[in-house]
């Protein structure tokens, strides 16, 4: 929906500030994940956050399934723990890149509704770099103690056919 059509569309100067803040947030988010510090990843979310990774075919058809489906920070922590301590997979590097940040709405309670496109590159240590996913974040941000936190992040990927496995968070 174009910004000016949204009932709670914020003023342009506010949009500029919000977009800057969300870009900063996403850059920090990527820095943590791309450094492999997966245990710190849940810190970007509220305690009651929803985190879902799903294919665009599911999002378009309103099918609720998630490749990853975490309700609440406990499930995010468990996934982080499983990646760091328990799961078996080949070593790799991941790198996120972001673009097209859009502020879709600023709701009365301060919730920021935003959308950001992402590209997620994967480099297995003995293979060439590939694009693991191209997709978008559909986000709901809230402010807690002057910090932005994610109350919901839905990662909707266009790349419907996953190559082998998606290990790390998107």
Distance CA 98, CA 32 (A): 14
CA distances from residue 90 to 32, 70, 93, 165, 167 in whole angstroms, order as listed: 20, 24, 10, 10, 10
Q: Which tokens hold the place of 98?
A: 């972001």
**From the CB of 158, what's the least distance to another protein, in Å?**
12
Task: Name which of residues 63 to 102 contact another protein (CB under 8 A).
Answer: 63-75, 77-79, 81-82, 85-90
Q: Which is nearer to another protein, 105 or 149 (CB)?
A: 149
Task: Name which of residues 41 to 60 contact another protein (CB under 8 A).
Answer: 53-55, 57-58
Instruction: Report if residue 164 touches another protein, rule: CB under 8 A.
Output: yes
Size of the site for another protein (CB under 8 A): 38
**From the CB of 22, what's the least distance to another protein, in Å?**
25
Residue with tokens 């839905």: 154
**From the CB of 122, what's the least distance to another protein, in Å?**
13
Please pick, from the candidates 21, 105, 113, 167, the single residue that binds another protein as defined by CB under 8 A. Answer: 167
Distance CA 74, CA 90 (A): 26
Q: Which is nearer to another protein, 32 or 67 (CB)?
A: 67
Q: Which is nearer to another protein, 10 or 55 (CB)?
A: 55
Backbone angle region of 40, left / alpha / beta, with phi > 0 → left and psi within -120 to 50 → alpha: alpha
For residue 132, with 0-12 CB atoms within 10 Å meaning exposed, 13-18 middle and 19 or more buried, which class applies? Answer: buried
Question: Which residues here bind another protein, judged by CB under 8 A?
Answer: 53-55, 57-58, 61, 63-75, 77-79, 81-82, 85-90, 160-167
């Amino acid at each position: 929906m174009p910004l000016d059509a949204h009932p709670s569309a914020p003023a342009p100067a506010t949009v500029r500030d919000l977009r800057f803040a969300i870009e900063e947030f996403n850059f920090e988010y990527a820095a943590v994940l791309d450094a492999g510090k997966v245990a710190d990843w849940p810190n970007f979310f509220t305690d009651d956050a929803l985190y879902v990774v799903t294919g665009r075919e599911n999002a378009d058809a309103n099918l609720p399934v998630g490749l990853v489906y975490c309700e609440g920070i406990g499930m995010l922590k468990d996934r982080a723990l499983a990646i760091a301590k328990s799961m078996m997979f080949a070593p790799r590097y991941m790198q996120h890149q972001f673009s097209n940040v859009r502020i879709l709405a600023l709701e009365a309670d301060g919730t920021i509704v935003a959308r950001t496109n992402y590209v997620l590159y994967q480099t297995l240590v003995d293979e060439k770099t590939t694009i693991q996913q191209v997709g978008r974040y559909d986000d709901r941000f809230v402010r807690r103690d002057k910090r932005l936190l994610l109350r919901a992040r839905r990662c909707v990927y266009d790349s419907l056919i996953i190559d082998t496995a998606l290990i790390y968070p998107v």
